Structure 1
Amino acid sequence: MPHLVILYTGQLDAEVNMTTLCRQMADAMLTVQDEAGKQVFPTGGTRVLAYPAPHYAVADGGAAGKAAGLHEQNPHGGSGDYAFVYLNVRMGRGRSEATQQRAGQTLVEVAKAFFAPVMVQRHIGITLQIDVGPEVFDAKHSNIHPLFQK
């Protein structure tokens, strides 16, 4: 049940390819191993979905960047507002804290590398959060998993 949902301010659609980020994040998830060297996220269950927010307000709307003379020169136009990316990983219980930390660090490094070229031109806030929760109901129905069973 490893799902990564990415919510982001919509102006980023003109500046980055979010499908590429989704693929990079899914590929990174598949590399994470636990202390025994076992793959943490099952291949057939790994999903990464990204959703743009067409309406948003971030911090002071870019005023501090303008005042500091650091306002981005966005070649793609837009309001000059800051951008924000929220990456939320939802994983099932049973993984050690060290494994959860390893997964988080792996994914945040991919996000930082992906957005580095854009951060040169604009201000972006990036948050990655991993949630592990007690599921009260967890049903799955898929014909994808059998593709990856050995």
Structure 2
Amino acid sequence: MAHVTIEWTANLEGQMDVEALMSLVAADMRERADGVFPVGGIRVRAFRVDDYVIADNACADDAFINLDVKMGAGRSPEFRQRYFDALFARITGFLQPLSESRPLALSMYVKEAEGWKHNTIHDRLKKAS
């Protein structure tokens, strides 16, 4: 399980390719995480935030993008540090043109989560291979 929720401020509308950012994160989890995240458990979604206050609320150009990552327990601290450092660097690189053109706060938080799941996507993936 690796679920990523991306929140981005409405003032970025038309300036950021949200689909490309989601695809970057999902592909990274599939292809660069050494199989740690089962493909059928990867979820990436994005929500535009229409109501927000940033810093002193004095600059309409201030914007933020936040990624919240939830994953099942059991990944080693070494893996988490190495993998999420690299993922954050790739996301920062992807967003560099945007962050050079306006004030932008980028953050990513990673949490282990316990949950209950029922997922038949794994079955579909087994049949397809």
Give TM-score, length-normalised by structure 2: 0.89
Task: Identify the structure with the greater strand proportion.
Answer: 2
State the identity as a percent: 29
Between the aligned partners of 1:43 and 1:139, the Cα distance in structure 2 is 15
Higher helix share: 2
Distance 1:62 1:119, change over 3 A: farther
Distance in 2 of aligned mates of 1:13 and 1:27: 23
Q: Is the 8 A contact 1:104 1:129 kept in 2?
A: no
Return structure 1 stretches of 4+ with deviation > 3 angstroms.
Answer: none
Q: Distance in 2 between matches of 1:106 and 1:89?
A: 14
Report the secondary structure of 2:95's partner residue.
helix
* Stretches of structure 2 lacking an aligned partner (at least 5 in a row): none
What's the CA shift for 1:2?
Answer: 0.7
Match of 1:94 in 2: 74
State the aligned residue count.
127
2:20: which partner in 1?
A: 20
State the Cα deviation string for residues 25-51 of structure 1 (Å, max 9, x = none).
101111333xxxx41111111111010
Once the two structures are superposed, residues 117-141 of structure 1 have per-residue CA deviations (whole angstroms, 9 ceiling, x without a partner) of: 01111011111111013x2x41223
Gaps of 5+ in 1: 64-78
Distance in 2 of aligned mates of 1:52 and 1:118: 16
Q: Taking structure 1 as the reference length, what is the TM-score of the superposition?
A: 0.77
| TM-fit CA distance, 1:102 | 2.1
Q: In 2, Cα distance between the equivalents of 1:140 and 1:104?
A: 26
Equivalent position amino acid for 1:147 in 2: R
Q: Map of 1:1-150 to 2, 5 A cutoff?
A: 1-33=1-33, 38-63=34-59, 79-80=60-61, 82-133=62-113, 135=114, 137-142=115-120, 144-149=121-126, 150=129
